[in-house]
Chains A and B, each alone.
Chain A
């Protein structure tokens, strides 16, 4: 399956190890509820939404999310994370259609 656009943003950009930063994870995803009708054909659009999002730091999971269809289109998930040291932040998500995708970003704390 084609890779969907996703993005991990860390706020603030400059941080030290031990700081609590905001992690923004954005995905381009339609989040179809399975209840909406297509205006042209009149058929029901099949459900297609993210069901699980997992955040990993150096392959250790630290936050798991169960997501349902009532999250908006192109969702943004924001959580906090206390950066212990330099490492890789990875986000893996699953959809109800069996799609699994991931995105990672390297964290480089200064000082």
Chain B
């Protein structure tokens, strides 16, 4: 017990000195919640977003991604959702997942009717060959999804 309390005290002292040291980005990182490699799997991530609601595959969601990507570090992904984007009926959010990355979440885009059309494009990293999953949340509370498998020749992580 003594040994444990001693170790705890040492740990506290170390933390205190780290906090009082100059605010380098590294110390800022340490002060924050455990960020860095986030290890959420696809089921947990989906649950965190939908709150347990069903996700239905839909033809309204158009996902454009290459079938074969030579370089996994740069995979262009374009998502378009058919929606009138009026204040009554619009796409609230688009979520992009890479199902086999160590952190499956790539980007969550919160849209408003001011966007005029529901579209998002970016480039993502894929660690290995896997499915890219897109979930669109509408203002009526529906979750629509689209999926495409991408073959990766050279991994993009690590």
Q: Which residues of A contact B (CB under 8 A)?
A: 20, 22, 33-37, 46-48, 57, 62-73, 75-82, 84, 96-99
Contact = CB atoms under 8 A, between A and B. Distances in A.
Interface of B: 25-26, 28-29, 32, 35-38, 73-75, 78, 98, 101-103, 105-112, 114-126, 156-158
7 contacts: A20-B117, A34-B36, A35-B158, A62-B115, A69-B37, A70-B125, A72-B122
B157 A76 contact: no
A35 B28 contact: no
Given A34-B37, A79-B109, 13 more contacts: A34-B36, A63-B110, A66-B108, A68-B106, A70-B103, A71-B122, A72-B156, A73-B73, A75-B122, A76-B123, A78-B119, A80-B116, A80-B117
B107 A33 contact: no
A68 B105 contact: yes
Contacts of A71: 106-107, 122-125
